[in-house]
Amino acid sequence: MKPILERLKNGEILVADGAIGTMLIKKGLKPGDCPDAISLTKPEILKEIAQQYFDAGAEIIQTNTFGASPMKLADYGLEDKTEQINAIAVSCVRKIVGDQAYVSGSCGPSGKILKPYGDAEPNEMYHGFERQMKALIEAGADIICVETMTDLAEAILAVKAAKAVSPQTPLMATMTFDETPKGFYTIMGVSIEDAAAGLQKAGADIIGSNCGNGIENMIKIAKKFKKFSDVPIVIQSNAGKPETIGSELIYPETPEFFAEKTPELIEAGVSIIGGCCGTTPEYIRAIRNVVD
């Protein structure tokens, strides 16, 4: 495969995968379990999920390492398994896709709040992210994806850690926004304009948004990112706002609805389109058909 940034520069639109958490729940993950520990207990599940997204037409498939930074794994007493969890997750995806898709090393929030609002030291958080990035990159991830961030300072630490480990590894960074009467902001009060400026300055090669919004709001977010950015944009929408029916979380937006709205993301200038919570291989197949 050609380098991803070269393809995006040439105006190609790439399709990413959908939710990992939603798929893990379908395959038996219980509330309170550590999703990242599946690398250690049932790695075959990670291969099954990668295969389903690959078969649906995803060209970027993420690792099950969203919470696999040592700071987050410490909540489950698994901090010392950081390298092992990240390495297995990369190899599970690689075994399925070979060199036919990009393996994207996922890195989500640490679960801690930086000083002065919380008690996390920036230096400690940075070194935690650096440790995870080293594990992902040494295991052969093609891309790093810093995702679902709400604090720009934390996102910048993760981006800088990845670029310190491997300046040449392409890096995507996405933040999660809520719609307010004054526009879109993260829960930590970060605007799209500030996110775009901060992430690009830190060294992100691709920026955008995932999670928190259905595809219609994501179209609005994409337009804003395009206005404030000169790097490719990635958008991974939820299948709408979830509703609890009985003990089940139901997402209202269908794969057909995603297919109907995908042309608007393309018109807004989005380079990478995928899904987040509530989306499955059916959603990715629907996006793939439209992009094709």
> Over the range 158-170, which residues count as b (16 or more CB within 10 Å of their CB) and which as e?
bbbbbbebbeebb
Q: How far apart are CA 108 and CA 281, in angstroms?
A: 21
Amino acid letter for position 12: E
Q: Are 137 and 165 in contact (CB under 8 A)?
A: yes
Q: What is the pLDDT of residue 106?
A: 98
Separation CA 256–CA 188 (nearest Å): 33
Nearest to 34 by CA among 90, 85, 104: 85
The predicted pLDDT at position 249 comes to 86
Give yes or no for a contact between 193 and 228, defined as CB atoms under 8 angstroms apart: yes
Burial class (CB in 10 A: 0-12, 13-18, 19+), 65: buried
Rounded to 10 deg, the angle between the 255-267 and 215-228 helix axes is: 20
- Whose structure tokens read 């690398």? 39
- Predicted local distance difference test score (pLDDT) of residue 248: 83
pLDDT attached to residue 80: 98
pTM of the model: 0.97
Picking from 148, 152, 106, the residue whose alpha carbon sits closest to that of residue 129 is: 106
Phi/psi at 250 (5° precision): -115, 130
pLDDT at 289: 98
Please give the domain boundaries of the chain with CATH numbers for all domains: 4-291 (3.20.20.330)
Question: Is residue 66 within 8 Å of 36, Cβ to Cβ?
Answer: yes
Q: How many C-beta neighbours within 10 Å does residue 123 have?
A: 9
What's phi and psi for 191, nearest 5 deg? -85, 165
Rounded to whole angstroms, the Cα distance separating 240 from 90 reads 29
- The token duo for 280 is 């499955």
CB 138 within 8 A of CB 120: no
**Closest-CA residue to 61 (of 251, 272, 203):** 272
Per-residue pLDDT tens listing for the chain (292 residues):
899 999 999 999 999 999 999 999 999 999 999 999 999 999 999 999 999 999 999 999 999 999 999 999 999 999 999 999 999 999 999 999 999 999 999 999 999 999 999 999 999 999 999 999 999 999 999 999 999 999 999 999 999 999 999 999 999 999 999 999 999 999 999 999 999 999 999 999 999 999 999 999 999 999 999 999 999 999 999 999 999 988 888 999 999 999 999 999 999 999 999 999 999 999 999 999 999 9
Pairing of strands 233-237, 60-62: unpaired
222, 265 in Cβ contact below 8 A? yes
Which residues make Cβ contacts (< 8 Å) with residue 65, sequence separation at least 6?
A: 36, 39, 85, 86, 89, 90, 105, 106, 107, 132, 136
